[in-house]
Amino acid sequence: MNEIRTLIRKEFTLEWRQKYALSGMLLYVVSTVFICYLSFNLRRNQLTPIVWNTLFWIITLFSAVNAIAKSFSQERFGRLIYYYNLCSPQAIIVSKIIYNSLVMLFLSGTGFIFYAFVMGNQVGDLGLYTICIALASIGFSSVLTLVAGIASKADNSATLMAVLSFPIILPMLLMTIRLAKNAMDGLDWSVSYDEMITLLSIDLIVITLSYLLFPYLWRS
Amino acid sequence: MKKIWWKVLCIVLLLYVAIMGFMGPVPHLPILNESIRNTYFHVALWLAMTTLLFSSMVYSLMYLRSGKLQHDDIASELAKAGLFYGILGCLTGSVWANFTWGDPWPNDPKLNGAAVGILIYLAYMLLRSSFEDEQRRARIASVYNVFAFAVFVPLIYILPRLTDSLHPGSGGNSTFGSYDMNNDLRKVFYPAIIGWILLGLWTAELRVRIKRINRFREEELAGDRKTL
């Protein structure tokens, strides 16, 4: 536990020292939202709730892929070997997942506030939508962390990252969009229990698998 | 040549399926009618594909535990055979859907799940081809393979259950589930599954052997060059 805490603190310190990475991601989200806003500007009335919801999740997905892709490649090779000597691979993957989840929560939260501000808020049940954002952020970041680890071993990692992660993340994305739609319509929470449980269990499966598989990846 | 019996069994079973599948008696259900014969091909191919992909994952796990390259060879060839079956399953399904639903690719959760499943395994092939070093490729591809299968199962078998599908057996369509799967169908359906699985294993086995021979020859060539 101590190891994990230190590693997470290290990630935050690193991020804080090179502020351009996080602020770059924030700017990425904000400018994407703004591009969508301007593109739909001509026909505001055609922005149905379904389009509104889907657009938000696609923006979130792309910013997640971009934000997490760098989580292994930003550090130099020598430093990775240094970590390899110091701590267990499990501690590394858990700390990376927790850190990336926090970053994603921050990014998608800010993204949502800005999106709702610009495109008009159409959400009926904000509480459920927040839960949905939280579940999705954790799920996206845990899938993408392992895939980023895989892709960073290859040469053309940017393409590989997208190709490997999109089909894997799709079940999660579909469930999220459905849950988010329920939240937008302000349906009773009992209607969405199915989706919430499925999403939670996919999250759990993915996190356990990352925990079990990462040591093999780390060794190479 | 030592274990030829299962290859003979495979040929016999598939011949039986081809003959009985087109000539044998079938129950007459609304909507489906004679097209129910596709159960022997489409449904059996899907089940065989899942089996092949599952065994591919098992071999990937074995590779991660043992580090023997043979296991990874087997895993990758099984995945390739599974992918091939997946494409065949899509094609047979499309032909059938064109007659039954009037559209070769209707918007159905199961179909989209299958397409995404094929994408996952194509990505696996791409991942394999982007490494030069064999051990490294084997390890990283195995990790991805295990991960991919764990996502593939909910995609194909759990998510479609949560929504209505056009497929027989859900959404009020006539089904070949527990009641309607009568003995005429069963007599061909179960042999069909076994036959397709055996055929898949056979193709995978042949490809693994070709791979081994190639590796052996390359090593021999490298050895020759060294002595020269």
pLDDT digits (tens, 9 = 90+) for A126-168: 888 898 899 899 989 988 988 888 888 877 677 888 888 888 8
Chain B residues in contact with A175 by the CB 8 A cut-off are: 159
Nearest CA in chain A to B132: A154
Chain A residues in contact with B147 by the CB 8 A cut-off are: 146, 168, 209-210, 213
User: Cβ of B140 and A205 within 8 Å?
Assistant: no
B134: number of CA atoms within 13 Å, CB side? 11
User: Cβ of B119 and A217 within 8 Å?
Assistant: no
Smallest Cβ–Cβ distance between B148 and the set A163, A168, A194 belongs to A168
Residue B143 at interface with chain A, using a CB cutoff of 8 Å: yes
Chain A residues in contact with B139 by the CB 8 A cut-off are: 216-217, 219-220
| Residue boundaries of the structural domains of chain B | 40-227
Q: Which of A155, A170, A203 to mutate to test the interface with B (most CBs of B within 10 A)?
A: A170
In tens digits, chain B (228 residues) has pLDDT values of 567 888 888 888 888 888 887 877 776 666 666 777 777 888 888 888 889 999 999 999 999 888 888 888 899 999 999 999 989 988 888 888 887 777 777 777 777 788 888 899 999 998 888 888 888 888 889 999 998 888 888 777 776 666 666 666 554 444 444 445 566 777 788 888 888 898 989 899 899 999 889 888 888 888 877 666
pLDDT digits (tens, 9 = 90+) for A37-91: 888 877 767 778 888 888 899 999 998 988 888 777 766 777 777 777 778 888 8
Quote the ipTM score: 0.81
Q: How many CB pairs under 8 A join A and B?
A: 74
Q: Closest Cα of chain A to B122: distance in Å?
A: 9
Per-residue HEC secondary structure of chain B comes to CCCCHHHHHHHHHHHHHHHHHHHCCCCCCCCCHHHHHHHHCHHHHHHHHHHHHHHHHHHHHHHHHHCCHHHHHHHHHHHHHHHHHHHHHHHHHHHHHHHHCCCCCCCCHHHHHHHHHHHHHHHHHHHHHCCCCHHHHHHHHHHHHHHHHHHHHHHHHHHHHHCCCCCCCCCCCCCCCCCCCCHHHHHHHHHHHHHHHHHHHHHHHHHHHHHHHHHHHHHHHHHHHHHC
User: Cβ of A217 and B140 within 8 Å?
Assistant: yes
Smallest Cβ–Cβ distance between B139 and the set A205, A210, A220 belongs to A220
Smallest Cβ–Cβ distance between B120 and the set A168, A202, A205 belongs to A168
